[in-house]
């Protein structure tokens, strides 16, 4: 009899534990997202919410077994960001919140709807070690070691002009016919031995200390809403000092700009290194906007015949000084040894029909910087 009582007691306890666990896993998480009034209009962005904060609200939250819905019950797409780790770091959700307004999101159990990826990138060994990446707006590439032994060698960031929201890198590389526009865009941007569309390099004695092309690559996150990867460079000499750099690039769906996190390693008495973020300047006149206090370079290039016009821009977050040379538009700042330095760079093509003139491009860059300096306020319940 006593054994029977113990049996039923144990079964009852286990039932309570199971019910409690199920209730915990089914519990909704509410998130209030407020846009600061200091912004203007509506700025679409990919909101990052720390996964550890969500787990603190619901320890049984399991990736890919929940949905995110807005205040009207409509499901929103999302991505789990790993940043190269084996553990989830952040929940990424695309949002558009008007300045001074708030919206409520909920996380609840469910199977999320499939998402068509809006970002893509890969190492391209069939084209001399290129590393190329894109989203639904624009595309870019960096050059690898194999290109150095050719007469095509170049240094900085390259831009591929797109006017489709589809992923085109594999198609263009397969045909090799991407210097002519067949309806979805083309590559006409000229980089050469320059920083191209917003690369970063040491700047000592008023000289840019160009590295060689990247040596190692690693994909950190592979969509569907954010693509990020790391490039490592061999050590090179800058005014007699050995320098090494690692760069992490992050491109979100719907964005014209990459985030770049560059970490320089060097050794000098100050543990500080002057650097520049720069854009190659064309010989023909374009529309230039650059001011020290804004941290923004906006460059609306001269028209390139029937190919159209590219706007190229950078946003630096550190105190910087604007410099215009015969070949570059530069923002000069200071890098600390072993400390990541972040900035943004990217482009827009007028034939894509989203940003079509210099004023719109500058406005885009200014609004984008506001999303960085006045971030959304997230309250989790």
Q: What share of the chain is helix, strand, coil (3-state, %, to 5)?
A: 20, 45, 40
Task: Cis check for the bond before 224: say yes or no (omega within 30 of 0).
Answer: yes
Judge if 126 and 107 occupy the same domain: no
* 19 domain-assigned: no
- pLDDT value of residue 42: 82
User: Are 186 and 308 in the same domain?
Assistant: yes
Using the 3D structure, point to which of 114, 132, 157 is the last residue of a domain: 114
Q: For the sheet containing 272-280, what is the strand order?
A: 207-208, 197-204, 272-280, 328-336, 321-324
The whole-number average pLDDT for the span 90-109 is 95
pTM for the whole structure: 0.92
Least confident of 24-33, 168-177, 365-374: 24-33
Asked if residue 158 lies in contact with residue 196, where contact means CB atoms within 8 angstroms, the answer is yes
What band does 2 get if pLDDT is binned at 50, 70 and 90?
low
pLDDT band at 13 (very low <50, low <70, confident <90, very high): very low
Are residues 223 and 92 part of one domain?
no
Handedness of CA 175, 181, 182, 187 (dihedral sign): positive
The predicted model gives 114-131 an average pLDDT of 97
For the segment 300-343, what is each residue's pLDDT rounded down to a tens digit?
A: 999 999 999 999 999 999 999 999 999 999 999 999 999 999 99
* Residue 124, CA distances (Å) to 4, 69, 83, 365 in order: 68, 38, 21, 30
pLDDT of res. 294: 87
**57: domain CATH number?**
2.60.40.1180
- Contact between 17 and 93 under an 8 Å Cβ cutoff? The reply is no
pLDDT at 25 over 90: no
Q: pLDDT at position 380, please?
A: 95
Tell me which residue of 286, 278, 282, 280 sits closest to 262, measured CA to CA: 278
Closest CA to 61 of 53, 70, 69: 53
Q: Examine the domain organization and report whether 90 and 235 are in the same domain.
A: no
> What average pLDDT is seen over the chain?
92
Give domain status of residue 273, yes or no. Answer: yes
Instruction: Quick: pLDDT tens for 245-295.
Output: 999 999 999 999 999 999 999 989 889 999 999 999 999 999 999 987 889
Percent of the residues in the chain that have a pLDDT greater than 90, as a whole number:
85
Domain boundary among 114, 146, 165: 114
274, two tokens: 């002057």
| Residue 220 and residue 237 share a domain | yes
Q: Which helix (H) or strand (E) holds 20?
A: helix 2-26
Last residue of a domain, one of 114, 132, 162: 114
With H, G, I as helix, E, B as strand and everything else as coil, classify residue 311: strand
User: Using an 8 Å Cβ cutoff, are 192 and 280 in contact?
Assistant: yes
**Nearest residue to 355 via CA among 287, 279, 292, 282:** 287
Q: Which residues 6+ apart lie within 8 Å of 187 measured at CB?
A: 158, 159, 160, 161, 172, 178, 179
Please check whether residues 108 and 198 belong to one and the same domain: no
Q: How far apart, in whole angstroms, are the C-alpha atoms of residue 289 and residue 313?
A: 9
Kindly list the distances between the CA atom of residue 74 and the CA atoms of 26, 60, 345, in Å, as whole numbers in the listed order.
Answer: 18, 23, 33
Secondary structure letter of residue 302 according to DSSP: P
* Domain shared by 104 and 135, yes or no: no
Task: Please give the share of the chain, as a percent, with pLDDT higher than 70.
Answer: 93
| Residue 381 lies inside a defined structural domain of this protein | no
Q: Give the total number of structural domains in the chain.
A: 2
Same-domain status, 212 and 327: yes
**In which domain, by residue range, is 92 found?**
26-114
pLDDT of residue 16: 39
> 134-166, pLDDT tens digit by residue?
999 999 999 999 999 999 999 999 999 999 999
Residues 345 and 367 grouped into a single domain: yes
């Amino acid at each position: 009899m006593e054994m029977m009582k113990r049996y039923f007691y144990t079964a009852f306890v286990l039932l309570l534990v199971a019910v409690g666990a199920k209730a915990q896993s089914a519990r909704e998480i509410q998130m209030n997202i407020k846009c600061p009034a200091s912004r203007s209009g509506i700025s679409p962005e990919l909101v990052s919410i720390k996964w550890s904060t969500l787990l603190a609200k619901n320890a049984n939250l399991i990736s890919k077994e929940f949905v995110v819905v807005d205040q009207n019950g409509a499901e929103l797409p999302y991505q789990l960001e790993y940043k190269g780790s084996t553990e989830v770091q952040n929940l990424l959700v695309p949002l558009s919140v008007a300045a001074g307004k708030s919206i409520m999101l909920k996380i609840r159990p469910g199977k999320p709807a499939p998402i068509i990826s809006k970002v893509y990138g890969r190492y391209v060994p069939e084209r001399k070690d290129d590393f190329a990446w894109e989203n639904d707006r624009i595309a870019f590439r960096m050059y690898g070691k194999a290109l150095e032994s050719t007469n095509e060698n170049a240094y900085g960031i390259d831009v591929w002009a797109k006017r489709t929201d589809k992923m085109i890198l594999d198609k263009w590389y397969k045909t090799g016919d991407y210097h002519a526009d067949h309806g979805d865009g083309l590559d006409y941007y000229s980089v050469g031995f320059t920083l191209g569309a917003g690369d970063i390099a040491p700047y000592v004695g008023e000289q840019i200390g160009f590295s060689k092309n990247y040596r190692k690559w690693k994909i950190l996150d592979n969509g569907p809403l954010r693509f990020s990867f790391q490039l490592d460079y061999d050590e090179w000499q800058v005014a007699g000092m050995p320098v090494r750099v690692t760069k992490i690039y992050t491109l979100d769906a719907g964005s014209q700009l990459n985030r770049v996190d560059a970490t320089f390693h060097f050794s000098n008495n100050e543990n500080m290194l002057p650097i520049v973020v720069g854009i190659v300047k064309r010989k023909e006149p374009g529309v230039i906007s650059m001011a020290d206090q804004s941290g923004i370079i906006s460059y609306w290039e001269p028209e390139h015949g029937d190919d159209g016009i590219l706007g190229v821009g950078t946003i630096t977050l550190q105190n910087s000084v604007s410099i215009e040379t015969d070949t570059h538009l530069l923002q000069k700042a200071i890098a600390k040894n072993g400390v990541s330095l972040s900035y943004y760079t990217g482009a827009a093509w007028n034939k894509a029909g989203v940003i079509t003139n210099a004023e719109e491009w500058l406005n885009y860059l200014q609004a984008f910087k506001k999303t960085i300096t006045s971030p959304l306020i997230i309250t989790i319940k």
